[in-house]
Amino acid sequence: METRGAFAPTTREEALDCYETAGPVARVVVRETAKAMKFDADEYADRVTPAVVETARDATFAELLCVHVADRGTFDEWLETSEFAAKDVIELGSEHVDRVAWHPVPFADAVVATTFQEGTDAAVSTLRRNAFGRVYRDVLDGGDQ
């Protein structure tokens, strides 16, 4: 089993802390990208809105989530022996492929998983976006407390 990423929050509070950590990083990335695109001050003020920075923070947070990657058998074994055995498993993709990427969310009693045959990087990124959209967005927006 391979594990990728930096954020593995086990509580809502840890998820919020990780999200806060991603904020300054997102602001710097947006600012430096705008510089590289040669935005002048007026164009920067016009185009770099709070929504742009917030989108960058969402993407940064999601792309830093810890994801496990393995074959189907390893995932099934992990699921059977983990605290998530009887929890909500949100599985995307087909059960007829060999590989699985997954992200457990302990405070939501959920595991988000995606199956894939090839293209590990794409599968991991897809999983992260889905975990963010399906689980974290409500928590980070304050809706699931």
Residue 32: closest CA among 51, 10, 56, 55? 56
Classify 123 as helix, strand or coil: helix
Low-confidence ranges of the chain (pLDDT < 70): 85-86, 142-145
Q: Which residues pair with 2 in a beta bridge?
A: 69
Number of neighbours of residue 37 by Cβ within 10 angstroms = 10
**What tens digit of pLDDT does each residue of 25-64 get?**
999 999 999 999 999 999 999 999 999 999 999 999 999 9
Mean pLDDT of the residues in the chain:
93
Q: Can you tell me which residue has the tokens 């695109």?
A: 37
Helical H segments across the chain, by residue range:
12-36, 41-47, 50-63, 72-81, 120-131, 137-140
Q: Can you tell me which residue has the tokens 């074994």?
A: 77
Compute the chain's Rg from CA coordinates. 17
**How far, in Å, CA of 54 to CA of 52, rounded?**
5
Stated pTM of the model: 0.88
Query: For residue 95, what pLDDT is reported?
Result: 86
- H or E element that contains 104: strand 99-105
For the chain, the domains span 12-63, 65-134
Residue 6 phi, psi (nearest 5): -125, -30
Q: How many residues does the chain have?
A: 145
